[in-house]
Structures are given as structure tokens and as C-alpha cells.
Amino acid sequence: MITKQEFSTVHERIKPYIHHTPVITSRLLNELSGANLFFKCENFQRMGAFKMRGATNAILNLTKEQQEKGVVTHSSGNFAQALSLSAKSIDVPAYIVMPSTAPQVKKEAVKGYGGKITECSPTLDEREKAAEKIMNETGSTFIHPSNDMDVIYGQGTAAIELLQEQPDLELIVTPVGGGGLIAGTALAAHHFGKNCKTIGAEPFEADDAYRSLQSGKIEENESANTLADGLKTQLGDKNFPIIQELVSEIIRVEEKEIVAALKLIWERMKIVVEPSSATALAAVLREKEKFKDKKVGIIISGGNVDLQKLPF
């Protein structure tokens, strides 16, 4: 496991390339939840999501020769944008495999950040084949969106900053998708918190992480019919052991609870967040007794929302 000093070094390394995002509060949401909530707003991060942190750390940890040959990933969303922008900032080529079904707005964002897109059929097998072909042709290094230790450590720096501002947090709640954010957050809470626990939030419609903790092995979703499209991916063999050891529990939420939490954040906090981010607040509101009178950090994971698909 990474040491506290090594984690601090990761944070210092990526600082020139990321935003130190604000922590905000809401008196109304404190009253509604019965807790003292502190929102770490990664929707204000460069490219609009926490994934900028992990992508940057992963690229900076490559050798000079590896950087010259570039990086490759497969992603239809935030990590595609994060790796493209991180690579551009560090002057490294970025090759992005995207499914042909990915929204045009996301493809345009990747291109705008300098990523070189290869489109493929929308299956994991085809995505992996396309990425491997690029690696063979270019010598580029593959970086996984969530199951890579350098990515995980980078994602954890959001919680480091949150705990630096609010060192007495008792709990931090984060959405769970591929597992990189919650694993990094749990490591940060372990090293920088004062007996601070990490709790995950996940839709019932994509509750593979909840089931994985129950069964002790990585579970899949047969279907994932959720508004929180960023949480449809599954855990990996690098982040799952961290989650097993350091995450207290995962709270599942209904789709209507995600919508209600999303609406509250937009209306009351006046910030744009994506549905995946709202699951963390939805979890707190669903299980108020668990959080009553506690100081609770909530990681707002991102704000890259498709305005055509808003549920209100």
C-alpha cells in the first residue's frame, strides 16, 4: 500500500496540471440531511471531472521514452477526455478508442483536447482489440480508466484536498463505477483522515460493487438501466482489494432518489453536476440516521452532463 509520504508526493506532482477545486456547503442540504455536508466539487476540475487527476499522474509516471511514444485507452466518456487533455498538457500523444455509439459531443471534446480517435464496435472485446492494435503500431502505453494504481492514487488526491480543508470529517461518500475514485478516496481517508470512513453510493440498477463486497469476488451487471451512466463499469483486480479492505459499505439508491438529489443540487447549490455525482447525496438522504449530526464529505465526481438527457 502507498505510504502517506508517497501519496503527498503524488499530490505535489500533479498540482501544476490540475485545478484545486472548491469545497462548498449548503445550509438547506444540511437541514434536509441532518448532517454537516462538505461537497468537493470536481465538476470544476479541468475537463469537468476528477479523472483529470488520475490521468495526469499516470502519464507523469511514465519514462521519457514511453511519453514520447504516447498513451492509449478505451473510453466513451470522461476518461477519454481526461487522458487527451492530460497528454496535451504534458506534450504526449494520446490515442483514444471510442465506441461508434459514443455521443458526438464527447467525440468532439476528445478531438478538442488533442486526442486521436479510433472508432470501433461498442463491445469491450472490440475496444480492447483496437487498443492493442494501436499499442503494437505505435509502441504507446495502455492506461486503464480505473484499474491502474497510478490512476487510483491520482484520483485519491481530491479527498486529500478535502481532508486538508476539513480534517475532522467522519465520513466521505463517493459514487462507485469502475472503482478508481472510491479506492483512491479510501486510501486518502486512511492516511490523511482521523478515523474517517469511506462509503460508496451506487444505483440499484448497477449494483455490481455492492454485490462484489457481499460475495468477495468481482461481480458484473447483466444490465445497467440507470440514469447514472458513468457508473455502469465494473470493478477491477487492482482497486477491488483496496475497496474490500478500506471501504465500510456501499449504499444503493433508487433512480427516483438520484433524480431528486440531482434536482436539489442544481436548484439549491446552483451548480451543474452529472447524475453519477448525485448518487452520493442520494445515499446520504436515503440513510439519514447513519449520517445524523456527523461531518460528511461528498465527492462531486463531475459535471459533464448531456443536457438532452436531463430528467427534469
Contact 95, 140 (CB under 8 A): yes
At residue 84, the pLDDT reads 98
One domain, residues 282 and 219: yes
CATH number for the domain that contains residue 204: 3.40.50.1100
**What three-state secondary structure class fits 293?**
coil
Which amino acid belongs to residue 53?
A: R
Q: Which residues contact 86 (CB under 8 A, 6 or more apart)?
A: 17, 52, 55, 56, 58, 59, 92, 94
**What three-state secondary structure class fits 169?**
coil
Give the DSSP letter of residue 237.
T
At residue 305, the pLDDT reads 87
| End position of a domain, from candidates 125, 142, 159 | 142
One domain, residues 167 and 266: yes
One domain, residues 39 and 104: no
Q: Which residues contact 298 (CB under 8 A, 6 or more apart)?
A: 37, 38, 39, 40, 172, 173, 174, 280, 281, 284
One domain, residues 15 and 156: yes
Closest by CA to 276, choosing from 246, 242, 309, is: 309
CA distance linking residue 215 with residue 213, whole number of Å:
6
One domain, residues 25 and 118: no
The predicted model gives 242-261 an average pLDDT of 98
One domain, residues 136 and 159: no
191-216 tens-digit pLDDT: 999 999 999 999 999 999 999 999 99
One domain, residues 111 and 191: no
182-191 tens-digit pLDDT: 999 999 999 9
24-64 tens-digit pLDDT: 999 999 999 999 999 999 999 999 999 999 999 999 999 99
| End position of a domain, from candidates 76, 111, 142 | 142
Predicted confidence band of residue 166 (pLDDT cuts 50, 70, 90):
very high
* Domain count along the chain: 2
Which amino acid belongs to residue 70?
A: G
Q: What is the pTM of this model?
A: 0.96
One domain, residues 164 and 32: yes
Which amino acid belongs to residue 90?
A: I
- Strands 94-99, 71-74: pairing is parallel
One domain, residues 56 and 125: yes
One domain, residues 277 and 184: yes
Report the mean per-residue pLDDT for the chain. 96
| End position of a domain, from candidates 142, 162, 181 | 142
One domain, residues 109 and 188: no
At residue 64, the pLDDT reads 97
User: How many angstroms separate the first and last alpha carbons of the chain?
Assistant: 43
Position 306 pLDDT exceeds 90? no
**What three-state secondary structure class fits 296?**
strand
Position 164 pLDDT exceeds 80? yes
Domain that holds residue 103: 52-142
Range 102-129 burial, b when 16+ CB lie within 10 A, else e: beeebbebbeebbbbbbebeeeeebbee
Cell of 25: 456547503
How would you list the strands of the sheet with 141-142, edge to edge? 116-120, 94-99, 71-74, 141-142
One domain, residues 125 and 108: yes
At residue 216, the pLDDT reads 97
